[in-house]
Amino acid sequence: MDITSMAPDEIASRIGDRPYRGKQVFAWLHKRQVTSFDLMTDLPKQLREKLSKSYTIGTDIYTLRSVQSADLTTKYLFRLENNTIIESVYMCYRFGGSVCASTQAGCRMGCIFCASGKNGFERNLTPSEICGQVYAIQRGKPRVGHVVLMGCGEPLDNYDNVVKFIRLISDENGQQLSRRAITVSTCGLTPKIIKLADEMLPVTLAVSLHAPNDDVRGCLVPAARAFPMPELLRACSYYTDKTGRQVTFEYVMIRGVNDSLSQAGELAGRLKGTLSHVNLIRLNTQEASGLYASSDDTIRRFADYLCGRGIKATVRRALGSDINAACGQLRVLNKRT
């Protein structure tokens, strides 16, 4: 059993020891990231032996390959247990390093413009495997200040493990990453957004909206058909009320599909009065998808139109597209790759 997926109190109660022991072991795992119980030098030898008989540390996360793009974005190919292969990305911003982590190997959501589900769904990642991506990338680099769950997978489709990951990586005995510096991006699983709001973890919520109405949205994000926009937007307001955090709406700009000014007007009408921010993303084209990116001019005009209607809108800088590390380009790889 992988002890790196456990919170300090869980470790303490499993080993039947006092709470501080749990914190001590947790710190070795999440702060110093040791790979063997033998290195936990302030634990009694007996306890170290007991731990090594019953638990494993982290999953065997192995870097198969890393490639750096011209803008210093680095894409990692990791091999996890059972030969599951996933991708994660390190991005360098002025304010520090950011990791884009995967939450599932593959994806079930079926968004027509995204590569993540093209090879199907393999499995959910464990909390330890999500932490492991951050720790492996961080090795030898300045401390990672932000984590965005925008890699492969739908975070809220792996709800329990993702919430646990947030608790582990922000724990005061470990990395202490600020919860505000963690972004959960979802294609809009409404009931899970409400559940997340009730956890009172003030993480940043990003919702992949991509359309001003359910007709267009249903074509782009098939999973969204079960969650109509009025309820989705109500859940987002609930999230804001509960956490005090503004919601980001992601909107991939696809030529002739969702990028007209009348659609910008419809979107502005829907979002009026919500504490939110629209992040426009230029489509990263997938081979043979028949979908094309909107021009930079169209994107700028769409953003200006929203701003003119009182909706905050920005255009996301595309990093790493030359190494297939940009939004929607991460995949679960075939085991033979």
Residue number with CB closer to ligand SAH (180 or 316) = 316
C-beta nearest to ligand SAH: residue: 328
> Nearest approach, Cβ of 74 to ligand SAH (angstroms)?
18
Residue number with CB closer to ligand SAH (24 or 133) = 133
Residue number with CB closer to ligand SAH (58 or 328) = 328
> Nearest approach, Cβ of 232 to ligand SAH (angstroms)?
12
Applying CB under 6 A, the residues found at the interface with ligand SAH are 109, 111, 113-114, 150, 154, 185-187, 208, 250, 252, 281, 283-284, 286, 327-328
253 neighbors 280 (Cβ within 8 angstroms): yes
Q: Which one, of 36, 86, 90, lies nearest residue 61 by Cα?
A: 86
Q: Is 143 buried (19+), middle (13-18) or exposed (0-12) by CB count in 10 A?
A: exposed
State the CB neighbour count (10 A cutoff) for residue 337: 11
> Nearest approach, Cβ of 306 to ligand SAH (angstroms)?
17
- 87 in active site: yes
Residue number with CB closer to ligand SAH (42 or 215) = 215
Catalytic one of 100, 187, 236, 327 = 327
By DSSP bridging, strand 74-79 and strand 62-68 are antiparallel
Catalytic one of 49, 87, 152, 231 = 87
Q: For the chain, first and last CA: distance in Å?
A: 28
Phi, psi of 195 (to 5 degrees): -65, -45
Query: What is the SS3 assignment for 58?
Result: coil
State the CB neighbour count (10 A cutoff) for residue 183: 18
- 236 in active site: no
> Nearest approach, Cβ of 207 to ligand SAH (angstroms)?
7
Q: Residues with catalytic annotation?
A: 87, 327
